[in-house]
Amino acid sequence: MSLDITFLGTGSAYPSPSRGASALVLRREGQCWLFDCGEGTQTQLMRSHLRAARITKIFITHLHGDHFFGLPGLLCTLSLQSNPDPSKAPVDIYGPLGLRSFLWRSLELSHAQLPFPYAVHELVPTRDQCPAEEFRDFSGLDRDGAAPQGPPGRILHLDPGEDSYLLLEDEQLVLRAFRLFHRVPSFGFVLEEKPRPGKLNVHKLKDLG
């Protein structure tokens, strides 16, 4: 499995002329997976060798603005580079509880129309992930039925046995999220390649003694 990592931004709090806010791209088999999307991420993408249209998954570590304020703008930029295709697989977005409401309301208020589907998969934090006075329960957002057109997606809870959240698994890898401890609920992501059986030429070994 070929993996390639590009740092688009390593700045903290706000972007600067010489360094973008948090954003990292992992390339895997022609796909791009974006981790965090601070302000200026789409500009940094234009300066890189990467193609924003290849982004298929987005992972947000936590809901501090320097890690996700660039996300609505990036999705709108992707919409300008995409042709309507209802059969296209959705862009999967993973992040803390509350991210779905933020994205839906941002796009709704700005009258943005995305020609591609997207899904928001929310990680439910535990109360010990941040100081008690900083913890906010976003589980009741939009329960009044005000967001019937909101994007689909899963609600993911911590697996106590694994102490992690299973995000996806295929024949090559397992991707999990785990809890980080910060001023607000935060998550790290671990991509683990599955063991691959090697190929052994028994006849060649016997010939070599």
Please choose, from the candidates 127, 116, 125, the residue with its C-alpha nearest in 3D space to the C-alpha of residue 52: 116
Is 66 annotated as catalytic? yes
Find all residues with CB under 8 Å of 193, minimum gap 6, and list them.
1, 172, 173
Go through the chain and tell me how many residues it has: 209
Catalytic position from the list 66, 92, 128, 159: 66
Between CA 204 and CA 209, with CA 208 as vertex, the angle to 5 degrees is 120
Query: Which tokens hold the place of 63?
Result: 């809901």
With H, G, I as helix, E, B as strand and everything else as coil, classify residue 172. Answer: coil
Identify residue 37 by its one-letter amino acid code.
C
Task: Supply φ then ψ for residue 69, to 5 degrees.
Answer: -65, -15
Query: Which tokens hold the place of 57?
Result: 């998954």
CB distance 191 to 167 below 8 Å: no
Q: Is residue 93 exposed (0-12), middle (13-18) or buried (19+ Cβ within 10 Å)?
A: buried
Q: Is residue 171 exposed (0-12), middle (13-18) or buried (19+ Cβ within 10 Å)?
A: exposed
- Where in the sequence numbering do the catalytic residues fall? 66
